[in-house]
Amino acid sequence: MTDPLKALKAELLDVALEAAHRAGAFLRDGRPADLGVAATKSSAVDVVTEMDLASEKLITDFLAERRPDDGVLGEEGASSEGSSGVQWVIDPIDGTVNYLYGRPDWSVSVAARKDGETLVGVVHAPMRGETGRAVLGEGAFLNDEPTRVRPAPPFEQALVGTGFGYVAERRAQQAEVARQLIPRVRDIRRGGSAAIDLCDVAAGRLDAYYERGLNPWDFAAGDLIAREAGALTGGRPGERLSGELAVAAPPGLFQALQGLLEDLGAWHD
């Protein structure tokens, strides 16, 4: 007898992969030389490109065609409840500033969740030629090869990824946290795409990652991929990963990093 949940997860994965690859090809091949700024978000340096908006429409139109009864939550304003119990959480370009400047570290992030639990996550990074994916309970993959987190190093040897917001007051506090953290670890990296950073933890390219100020579409897919690759993820001690704070690291490093970030006040501006 077919397991209905397993069949649903398989279908959602197929849809997520196709949506992410369609959007990724559109963004890669259609990037105009005179790429403009359609609007601003939290500040004048946080841009929404014309391609951001077009990518979200491409994805939502595709989802409406393939799974018309599902809900959608998208970065650029797409929001619908749906009636199936499945909600898609999409970031049409994660790493918009990288995309705007022609840097390679941007991605399309597509996740599907049901009853508040993420079942499927896909992060497609076209300029890297990579796609991270995970299905709840079935492990994580990078370009169809199983991927696992790097074993926890001593804290002082950890390579830690992070990101910064675009509002001056928040950036100042984030810079202060980083100033105090960097002498205690191997080094810090700032890539510009939370989804890719979480996948890099999953693939062992970062030992850990933390950031304040993420939105659900920034981390929904990457969080699942990291967890399925063996990472622990969360927010402040005892809390789930959220916009207040996101932390991802393998067991043995996660608790120490989470505790230090709590002490440094990484969870507030």
How far is 122 from 118, CA to CA, in rounded Å? 11
The backbone region for 143, taken as left when phi is positive above 0, alpha when psi lies in -120 to 50, beta otherwise, is left
CA proximity to 185, closest of 105, 264, 104, 269: 264
How far is 132 from 225, CA to CA, in rounded Å? 7
Q: Count the neighbouring beta carbons within 10 Å of the beta carbon of residue 251.
A: 12
How far is 206 from 194, CA to CA, in rounded Å? 12
CA proximity to 23, closest of 49, 66, 54, 47: 54
Tell me the sheet residues that pair with 120.
112, 135
Residues contributing to the annotated binding site: 75, 91, 93-94, 218
Residues contributing to the annotated binding site for Mg(2+): 75, 91, 93-94, 218
Handedness of CA 61, 64, 66, 70 (dihedral sign): positive
